[in-house]
Amino acid sequence: MFKIAVLPGDGIGPEVVEEGVKLLRALDRELNIGFVFETALIGGIAVDNYGIPFPEDTLKTVLNSDMVLLGAVGGPKWDNIEVSKRPEQALLALRKNLGVFANIRPVKSIKPLISASPIKPEIIDGVDLIILRELTGGIYFGEPKYRDREKAIDTLVYNRYEIERIARVAFKMSLSRRKKITSVDKANILESSRLWREVVNEMSTDYPDVMIDHLYVDNCAMQLVRRPKDFDIILTENMFGDILSDEAGAILGSLGMLPSASLGDKYALYEPIHGSAPDIAGKGIANPLATILTVALLLRYSLNREDLAGTVEKAVEEILKEGYHTADIKMDGKVVGTKEMGDLIVKKTLEILEGDMR
Ligand code: NAD
């Protein structure tokens, strides 16, 4: 049995999460996997119902699960409330409580979408990289934080064990990929980056087959646009990873296509990287593919079902190849809504599975 806590959140969150759950239920019916779903509130909708964005009941639900599927939180309605109650605070609390320190964001070009990218096709055709971002340390969590009218302080702290455990994930992951890691820091300026580089170098002696490169974050930001195909795993700290992963995602064209997984020792958190898209919420036009590709990551990392993950990814590519797409993707073909896209993916996934079983 696999217990999945479902946190739809705000805006388009519930619309796209519904399509992800639809796919998981269909797979369960077909293969008897044994998913059990429990839904809870997070973000603005939790503020409206409980007065806080991450209520105790939600914490209980997620701690009682094996993995969490999250939509997105936030929206203009909650933009002007006090900082501690803002929906984004719920995300930080969720990650910290689950101890999910390794954020994985795959960035892979999908053939039918290459024309939708702002970058020249020959530069992005064949891009297949992973941004591995440390998620529970660094400047987003460091103490002290301080603010008065004239001065503001944030603190960037990294402990050796935090660097070691994320680097270990990178080295292990690289063994089943191209055995190439680019570690990104700002070691010319920051002490925490000098420790980061030192630890990664020390650990690399345990993995003699893996090639390690070090890049300063500003240089990496530039190289990602110029030669994205040269990267395999980009290993970096929390804030640099936040920025670089959005950049890497943007080169592919649409925010609505990018999945993420965050792994810890006990729990895993799965979420599309886009936000709650208040501008299109409730219209039934949001792209559910980021969530559906997130479900593929859940199958890959929490269930160890590389076969099923690959099947879902193949179904997405096939449907796009047939010309079906949501309105956010600028390409020829037929524009469909959120639910229709979800249905197309379920149907295609089951067709591929049946073909494989025959
Ligand atoms: P956003 O990702 O919500 O939207 C940016 C643009 O991309 C919008 O035009 C939106 O319509 C479009 N878009 C995003 N996802 C899409 C999808 N699946 N299908 C089609 N179009 C899509 O970012 P934003 O506008 O900066 O933020 C809106 C709200 O979301 C804010 O309150 C922000 O704090 C929150 N947010 C939440 C998360 C999260 O929950 N993880 C992440 C980012 C932003």
What pLDDT digit, counting tens, does each position of 64-108 carry? 999 999 999 999 999 999 888 899 899 989 998 999 999 999 999
Tell me which residues are annotated as active site. 140, 186, 218, 242, 246
| pLDDT given for residue 215 in this prediction | 98
Distance from the CA of 85 to the center of ligand 1, in angstroms?
19
Of 80, 89, 274, best ligand 1 pocket probe by most atoms within 8 Å of the beta carbon: 274
> Residue 247's CB: how many other CB atoms inside 10 A?
16
Q: Report the alpha-carbon distance of residue 55 to residue 71 in Å, rounded.
A: 17
| pLDDT given for residue 151 in this prediction | 98
| pLDDT given for residue 249 in this prediction | 81
Distance from the CA of 111 to the center of ligand 1, in angstroms?
24
The CATH H-level superfamily of 1-103+257-358 is Isopropylmalate Dehydrogenase (3.40.718.10)
Q: Could you identify the atom of ligand 1 that is nearest to the CA of residue 288?
A: 18
Could you give the strand order of the β-sheet that contains 268-272, starting from the edge strand earlier in sequence?
35-39, 2-9, 67-72, 268-272, 259-263, 102-108, 128-134, 233-236, 180-185, 211-216
Every domain of the chain with CATH number 3.40.718.10 lies at 1-103+257-358, 118-252
Q: Which residues of the chain have pLDDT under 50?
A: none
Q: Report the alpha-carbon distance of residue 155 to residue 160 in Å, rounded.
A: 16
Query: What Cα–Cα distance (Å) separates residue 170 from each residue in 102, 163, 195, 199?
Result: 9, 11, 17, 13
How is domain 118-252 classified at the architecture level of CATH? 3-Layer(aba) Sandwich (3.40)
Residue with tokens 């891009």, as numbered in its chain: 127
| pLDDT given for residue 237 in this prediction | 98
Which pTM value belongs to this model?
Answer: 0.93
> 273-297 b/e with 16+ CB inside 10 Å = b?
bbbbbbebbeeebbbbbbbbbbbbb
| pLDDT given for residue 139 in this prediction | 97
Distance from the CA of 17 to the center of ligand 1, in angstroms?
14
| pLDDT given for residue 179 in this prediction | 98
Q: Is 293 in the pocket of ligand 1 (CB under 6 A)?
A: no
Q: Could you identify the atom of ligand 1 that is nearest to the CA of residue 43?
A: 40
Distance from the CA of 279 to the center of ligand 1, in angstroms?
9
| pLDDT given for residue 169 in this prediction | 96
